[in-house]
Amino acid sequence: MRPRDLSDHVEYRAGRGIEEVARELGRDPEEFVKLASNENMFGPSPAAVDAVEASADEVHHYPTADHQDLTAAIAERWGVADEQVWLANGGDGALDYLSRAALEPGDAVLVPAPGFAYYGMSARFHHGEVAEYDVTGDDGFTLTADAVLDAYDGERIVHLTSPHNPSGARFALDAIERIAEETREETLVVVDEAYGEFADAPSAVGLVEGRDDADASHATSHAPRDDVAVLRTFSKAYGLAGLRLGYAIVPESWAEAYARVNTPFAASVVACRAGLAALDDDEHVEQTVEMARWSRTYMAEHVDAPTYESHANFLLVEVGDASAVAEALQERGVIVRDCSSFGLPECVRITCGTEAETERAVRELNEVLA
Ligand X SMILES: Cc1ncc(COP(=O)(O)O)c(C=O)c1O
Residues of the shown chain interacting with ligand X in the complex, contacts defined by CB under 6 A: 38, 90-92, 116, 161, 165, 192, 194, 233, 235, 241, 246
Q: In whole angstroms, what is the distance from residue 131 CA to residue 151 CA?
A: 8
Smaller CB separation from ligand X, 205 or 241: 241
CB of 356 to ligand X, least distance (A): 24
CB of 30 to ligand X, least distance (A): 25
Please state the length of the chain: 370
Smaller CB separation from ligand X, 265 or 332: 265
Smaller CB separation from ligand X, 98 or 317: 98
CB of 90 to ligand X, least distance (A): 3
Smaller CB separation from ligand X, 244 or 273: 244
Neighbours of 281 (CB within 10 A): 17
DSSP 180-223: HHHS-TT-EEEEE-TTGGGSSS--GGGGBTT--TTT-TT--SSP
CB of 92 to ligand X, least distance (A): 4
Smaller CB separation from ligand X, 55 or 162: 162
Please work out, in degrees rounded to the nearest 5, the angle formed at the alpha carbon of residue 222 by the alpha carbons of 245 and 195. 30
Q: Cβ distance 235 to 194 under 8 Å?
A: yes
Long-range contacts of 239-242 (CB under 8 A, 24+ apart): 239/39, 239/40, 239/42, 239/43, 239/44, 239/45, 239/48, 239/278, 239/284, 239/288, 240/44, 240/48, 240/271, 240/274, 240/275, 240/278, 241/37, 241/39, 241/40
CB of 215 to ligand X, least distance (A): 27
CB of 165 to ligand X, least distance (A): 4
Smaller CB separation from ligand X, 241 or 322: 241
Q: Which residue is nearest to ligand X (CB)?
A: 90
Q: In whole angstroms, what is the distance from residue 172 CA to residue 149 CA?
A: 15
Pairing, β 228-233 against β 108-113:
unpaired
At 321, which helix (H) or strand (E)? none
Smaller CB separation from ligand X, 43 or 320: 43
* Residue 327 identity (one-letter amino acid): E
Q: List the one residue out of 184, 158, 156 whose CA is nearest residue 171.
A: 158
Q: Can you tell me whether residue 155 is helix, strand or coil? A: coil
* Residue 237 identity (one-letter amino acid): A
Q: What DSSP designation does 342 have? A: G
CB of 141 to ligand X, least distance (A): 14
CB of 219 to ligand X, least distance (A): 25
Smaller CB separation from ligand X, 84 or 235: 235
Smaller CB separation from ligand X, 92 or 364: 92
Smaller CB separation from ligand X, 246 or 333: 246
Q: What DSSP designation does 350 have? A: E
CB of 231 to ligand X, least distance (A): 7
* Residue 33 identity (one-letter amino acid): V
CB of 362 to ligand X, least distance (A): 23
Q: In 200-357, at which residue ranges do the beta strands (DSSP E only) sit?
A: 228-233, 246-249, 314-318, 334-338, 347-351
